[in-house]
Amino acid sequence: MTLAILHADEHLLVLDKPAGLLSVPGRGADKQDCLSARVQAGFPEALTVHRLDMATSGLMLMARSKAMQAALGRLFEQRRIDKAYEAVLEGRLEADAGFVELPLICDWPRRPRQRVCFTHGKPSLTEFRCLGREGGQRSRVRLLPHTGRSHQLRVHMQAIGHPILGDELYASPAGHAASPRLLLHACRLAFVHPATGVWLELESPVPF
């Protein structure tokens, strides 16, 4: 598969990951094909900075040095990278915009699932904006994660009664069957380039 490289300079790469491809290698010989391995075939020095779920498509950053990996990691930790996703949800979302603030923890017996836990969960905050509604069947939303927990967007949408269509872990049986893929796409990344100081803003067209 040809890699979609949206930005490349001597310090970093921005790639468009397809749905169904791992971000990094998993356990087992059948899980070695991934975005990072494909990138490293052409850019051996490339290092992972963050990840997207296998089922999620969209923008991913990779660093071309240890120093840049650390610098980009700090931007993520300090929440100085603007990230936006687009998703299609089950059912009609009544609110035009809002926030979901629910603590999350690994659902250990059913891993890799995550769940809401008010006792031991880590603080998690998602902002949503409704972009459109298709009758009572589905709603298209812009999702802005203010924290970066595993499966955060997927669990938060399920928690408010509107799981993401095509989600094999969190959607209803009908919602899972409604799409051959998870309808979640990382569509925007924006940040100040750590090496140049230039504001870098990248967008990826939503494929659904």
Strands 114-116, 184-192: parallel, antiparallel or unpaired by DSSP? unpaired
Q: Are 127 and 162 in contact (CB under 8 A)?
A: no
Percent of the chain whose pLDDT exceeds 90: 93
The pLDDT of residue 1 is above 80: no
Given a contact cutoff of 8 angstroms between Cβ atoms, the answer to whether 90 and 175 are in contact is yes
pLDDT at res. 30 = 78
Enumerate the active-site residues.
53
Per residue in 74-96, pLDDT (tens digit) is 999 999 999 999 999 999 999 99
C-alpha 146/C-alpha 105 separation (Å) is 16
Residue range 34-58: average pLDDT?
Answer: 96
Q: What is the pLDDT of residues 143-179, one digit of tens each?
A: 999 999 999 999 999 999 999 999 999 999 999 999 9
Could you tell me the sign of the dihedral formed by the alpha carbons of 157, 160, 166, 168, in that order?
Answer: positive
Whether the Cβ atoms of residue 17 and residue 57 lie closer than 8 Å to each other: yes
Tokens encoding 128: 């949503």
Residues 56-72 have pLDDT tens digits of 999 999 999 999 999 99
The domains found in the chain, sorted by start residue, are 5-81 (3.30.2350.10), 84-184 (3.30.2350.10)
Q: Taking CA 75 as the corner, what is the angle to CA 164 and CA 47, rounded to the nearest 5 degrees? A: 80
At 178-203, the pLDDT tens digits run: 999 999 999 999 999 999 999 999 99
